[in-house]
């Protein structure tokens, strides 16, 4: 899936990912390819994802204060405050 993690002033990360784990008020949710569409509020925590790079799959993490995430098609857009 294609993910875009956007901060207030800049893009924090954009690219392909195998899976993404998002922190929400009700706990973590794991998003895989072609997940059902959703819009969710994010809480303080870490966004963890397995990024598809030319060298293979790399585990990455971004710590956030809060935000929102929107999944549609096979694209995940995440707007966050860090």
Which residues are CB-neighbours of 10 under 8 A, at least 6 positions away? none
**Does pTM surpass 0.85?**
yes
SS3 of the chain: CEEEEECCCCEEEEEEEEEEEEEECCEEEEEECCCCCEEEEECCEEEEEEEEECCEEEEEEEEECEEEEEEECCEEEEEEEC
- Token pair belonging to 57: 């799959």
Domain interval for residue 32 = 2-81
Q: Indicate the number of domains in the chain.
A: 1
Structure confidence by residue, pLDDT tens digits, 1-36: 999 999 999 999 999 999 999 999 999 999 999 999
Specify the CATH number for the domain of residue 49: 2.60.15.10
């Amino acid at each position: 899936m294609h993910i875009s993690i956007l901060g207030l002033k800049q893009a924090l990360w954009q690219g392909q990912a195998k899976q993404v784990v998002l922190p929400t008020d009700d706990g973590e949710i794991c998003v895989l390819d072609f997940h059902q569409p959703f819009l969710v509020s994010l809480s303080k925590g870490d966004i963890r994802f397995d990024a598809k790079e030319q060298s293979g799959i790399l585990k990455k993490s971004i710590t956030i204060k809060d935000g929102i995430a929107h999944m549609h098609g096979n694209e995940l857009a995440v707007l966050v405050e860090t």
